[in-house]
Amino acid sequence: MDILFGSSVNLPLEWLRIALALLGTAACAYYDLFNNKNVPERLLQAFLALAVIVAIVAYDPIATPYGLVAGAILFAANYLLYKTGYLGGADVPILSAIAVLLPAQPTLLLLDKSSAWLTFPFIIHVLTAAFLTFMLHLLIKTVPHALKTLKQAGSIKGEQWFGAFAIAISYGFLAYVMSSMPLLGGSYIIFLAILAAVSVYFVLFRNSINDSMLEWVPAKRVEVEDIIAPDKMDAAIVKKYSIGRLVDEAEYKRLQNVKEKIPVYRHLLPFVPHMLLGLIISLLWGNVLFVLAGLGPLGF
């Protein structure tokens, strides 16, 4: 258990591991932002290969095997998400590289060294912070679409209202239980309230948010690696051409025979920059949830 929570994990050449994780993720984020979300395969392969080499050269009997195994498991799990169209192809090797380089919380840049023991595998810290910044970005971007939806009568269905109500009730119960826990700061309850409000927002405006990211294009303009929305298409066409979310080479060839326009998620937000933000936040503050619970330097 101590090993899982990082208290017994040493990271040899920690400065090199941190530098490579930051530089590699930053380079990938640059291409994700400025190259139409297309990160070069060679860059991804080089980042992951260098991560494995550094982990082996800077050998530690716990950190090295723990990082390699965690990276392999993460790669396999994320690859399945990628193949089903729920994760970008670039995200898979980037997350695995970070997991291999930094299997436990690095303390070199950590603002509060006493909180280093409060750790899951470090990649969970990174994903938590990245998810939070991504949700904030998505919230800001989609508010105009949500406001338009409010003006359309019947645009929010009954099941969406029910889901929002269920979230609100669940938060109320959770806040009541957690308010009696002396170790948790008031900021954590506030954070949960904000998280519940954002969750309600995404449940209520899920359809308009998805539609705002779609672009209907001719089949000839669909590209390999595109993510499409089969649920928006005619069910008979989806079945006839075996259309899934992720466009691979075989599906691309089949789509060339479709005469109708295809709904493609052309306006998805880039996620790699948020992984970079999550990495920086986690290097400085560790697990942001612990900080919000009052167990880090910013908690109250």
* One domain for residues 285 and 220: no
* One domain for residues 250 and 282: no
Residue 255 lies in a domain: yes
Identify the pLDDT of residue 275. 97
The DSSP call for residue 220 is G
Identify the pLDDT of residue 46. 97
Identify the pLDDT of residue 158. 86
Band of residue 236 on the pLDDT scale cut at 50, 70, 90:
very high
CA distance 183 to 171: 19
CA distance 251 to 244: 8
* Radius of gyration for the alpha carbons in the chain, expressed in angstroms and rounded: 22
Identify the pLDDT of residue 171. 82
* One domain for residues 119 and 220: no
Residue 281 lies in a domain: yes
* One domain for residues 65 and 87: yes
Residue 81 lies in a domain: yes
* One domain for residues 288 and 223: no
* One domain for residues 31 and 93: yes
* One domain for residues 279 and 254: no
Higher-pLDDT residue of 36, 294? 36
* One domain for residues 257 and 280: no
Mean pLDDT computed over every residue of the chain = 86
* One domain for residues 49 and 96: yes
Identify the pLDDT of residue 145. 82
Residues 232, 233, 234, 237, Cα dihedral to 10° = -150
Over 50: is that where the pLDDT of 4 sits? no
Residue 285 lies in a domain: yes
Higher-pLDDT residue of 151, 13? 13
Identify the pLDDT of residue 101. 96
Among 202, 203, 176, which residue's Cα sits nearest to residue 189? Answer: 176
Residue 173 lies in a domain: no
Number of separate domains in the chain: 2
Over 50: is that where the pLDDT of 6 sits? no
Q: What is the DSSP string of 9-51?
A: ---TTHHHHHHHHHHHHHHHHHHHHHTTT---HHHHHHHHHHH
* One domain for residues 118 and 218: no
Over 90: is that where the pLDDT of 7 sits? no
Higher-pLDDT residue of 294, 95? 95
Identify the pLDDT of residue 2. 38
Residue 19 lies in a domain: yes
Alpha helix segments (H runs only) across the chain: 14-34, 41-57, 63-83, 91-101, 122-150, 158-178, 186-204, 206-212, 235-240, 249-255, 272-285, 288-290
Q: What is the pLDDT of residues 161-205, one digit of tens each?
A: 888 889 889 888 877 776 666 655 566 677 778 888 888 898 888
Please check whether residue 198 is in contact with residue 192, taking contact to mean a CB–CB distance below 8 angstroms. no
Band of residue 300 on the pLDDT scale cut at 50, 70, 90:
very low
Q: What is the pLDDT of residues 85-103, one digit of tens each?
A: 788 889 999 999 999 999 9
Residue 205 lies in a domain: no
User: What is the span of the domain harbouring residue 289?
Assistant: 14-123+269-295
Q: What is the pLDDT of residues 127-172, one digit of tens each?
A: 989 999 999 999 999 988 888 877 777 778 888 888 888 988 988 8
* One domain for residues 94 and 76: yes
Please check whether residue 278 is in contact with residue 29, taking contact to mean a CB–CB distance below 8 angstroms. no
Residue 55 lies in a domain: yes
* One domain for residues 45 and 104: yes
